[in-house]
Amino acid sequence: MTVAASTLTLPDSEARSMLQPRDDLLVAERELEPGRFGLVDGPFRSWSREVEVTPLADGMSSVAQRVEFAMALPIWSLLFAPLIRRRLRRHPGSIADRPWWSPPNRLSARAAGVVGSCCLLGVIGGFVGGLVGQTMTFVGSDLGFGVQTQSRALAIIRVGAVLTFLGTALADRRGRRPLILWSIVIAALFAAIGGLGQDVAWITGSQVVCRGLVAVGVLLLPVLAAEEVPAGSRAFVTGLIAMSGGLGVGMVLWVLPFADVSTSAWRWIWALALLAVPATIRICRQLPESHRYTELTPETREHAHPILARRLLLFGAAILLLNLFITPIFQLQNEFLRHARGFSATKLAIFLLSTNTWGGIGVIVGGRVADTRSRHLVASVGLGGLAVGNALMYSLSGWPMWAASIFASTIGAATVPSIGVLYPELFGTAGRGTAAGTINIAAVAGGVIGLPLAGSLIETHGYGRTVWFLTLAPLATAVILRWIPETARRSLEEINAEPAESPD
């Protein structure tokens, strides 16, 4: 239970407003008795507010307020409860008062719990899925294969997209929650098994299963969340889940300096994936199934709006081109920093953490603008920053390289909420998982094309020229996205012409 107590001196009119039930971005209240209020709606398990107004001279009053609340979030309440407490101490609060850390719409207790659980699972999925990309350069050094073999292995690993498609399609028949649970658990086990490998074939084979299955969970998390949260907050929430995945990848970097202890130390890093098994099981016990999925009936499935081929084709082409660029950019970054710039594991971790952390700004700001204004606008700006910033990073050295990476991370991160939210938005409930799996195949195809292409071009033209050439792909993505419908502030039922079974 968190307590926020304050005494404010306010004009009489504002003081009297404090004696009314709140109905704003944070909470909706009901009056229990004069000066005492309880919870109607909001991201809280419990909420109690008591107010006492004492008139002063010159049209002013002293307002003593005490709020006791418990958030309906898992461990994230440790982060958000102090922010809410500080806000309550300083401001009476109104519906127009929107702090930077709040979604554009009020969340219910159920929606907040779903978002919190999805973010925790995103951290786990990011760690398990990020192991091979962040450590492949060390795996190669230990087992004796270079950048071209690494590129080919990373490309082959993406064959796991077949497993991803099967898993996400099954989620349309069996539910989002069970597929999220078992895909992440099994992926974590295969990550640990991969750490026992003695050759590139073992590494590649185990990661085909690991990456293929962890992608099932990672893709279904924003689907489940989007089916629970209000229409005006879907991009913001998608960004939060993606940031959580980035935190998971960042946790690999926390332990990456350990890879310098010995040539085989990367194996112990991979073994940490076993910790994901009990954590995932515990979190999923608190995660409800999507209400939109549970409300599907055989009749609604039969009359569900079919997956629109034009949307699928356009969005698939955009995602393919985007991943043709970002997959080699991110997967080969450690190899570039180690061998082209001479970074140690420790310096590499410092570089990635200190430059990529700024992406949180792009996700938060981009998510809010994408929800309140336009997905198209935010995506175009983000894609431009992603392309130019990374091309400069791979062309420069010293502090300009660090600055270019920060620019790419900050501006480019706006693509995460603005494009990521389109996965669950553009397709109906009965086919949302299948569509996500299909789009993932397009993403993987982009990576499969981009990795060997980049590896080959780097061998002959170097990193800088190669990345500048690849920037044509995200710029083309921005053009294609303009042909996709704008989805901001529209319900999922409206976007997909489905019966409105529940209010958004």
- Give the SS3 label for residue 486: coil
Report the CATH number of the 119-296+305-489 domain: 1.20.1250.20
pLDDT band at 299 (very low <50, low <70, confident <90, very high): low
In angstroms, the CA 243 to CA 114 distance is 16
Section 314-336 average pLDDT = 91
Q: How far is CA 138 from the centre of its chain?
A: 27
Return the pLDDT at 92: 60
Q: Note the pLDDT tens digit of each residue in 195-253.
A: 998 888 999 999 999 999 999 999 999 999 999 999 999 999 999 999 999 899 889 98
Burial status of residue 394 (CB atoms within 10 A of its CB: 0-12, 13-18, 19 or more) = buried
Query: What is the average pLDDT score of the chain?
Result: 89
pLDDT at 180 over 90: yes
Cβ–Cβ under 8 Å, residues 462 and 356: no
Among 232, 264, 242, 30, which Cα is nearest to 115's?
242
Q: Note the pLDDT tens digit of each residue in 382-402.
A: 999 999 999 999 999 999 999
Return the pLDDT at 304: 56
Q: Note the pLDDT tens digit of each residue in 346-356.
A: 888 889 889 98
pLDDT at 291 over 80: yes
Among 22, 39, 33, 32, which Cα is nearest to 91's?
22
In angstroms, the CA 14 to CA 17 distance is 5
Return the pLDDT at 306: 57
Return the pLDDT at 94: 45
pLDDT at 305 over 60: no
In angstroms, the CA 410 to CA 359 distance is 4
In angstroms, the CA 4 to CA 15 distance is 18
Q: Name the phi and psi angles at 446, rounded to 5.
A: -60, -45
Return the pLDDT at 447: 85
Q: Note the pLDDT tens digit of each residue in 129-173.
A: 999 888 888 888 888 887 778 878 877 887 888 999 999 999 999
Return the pLDDT at 501: 44
Q: What is the DSSP-derived secondary structure letter of residue 23?
A: B
pLDDT at 314 over 90: yes
- Domain coordinates of the chain in residue numbers? 119-296+305-489
Q: Percent of the chain, pLDDT > 70? A: 95
Return the pLDDT at 96: 46
Return the pLDDT at 409: 94
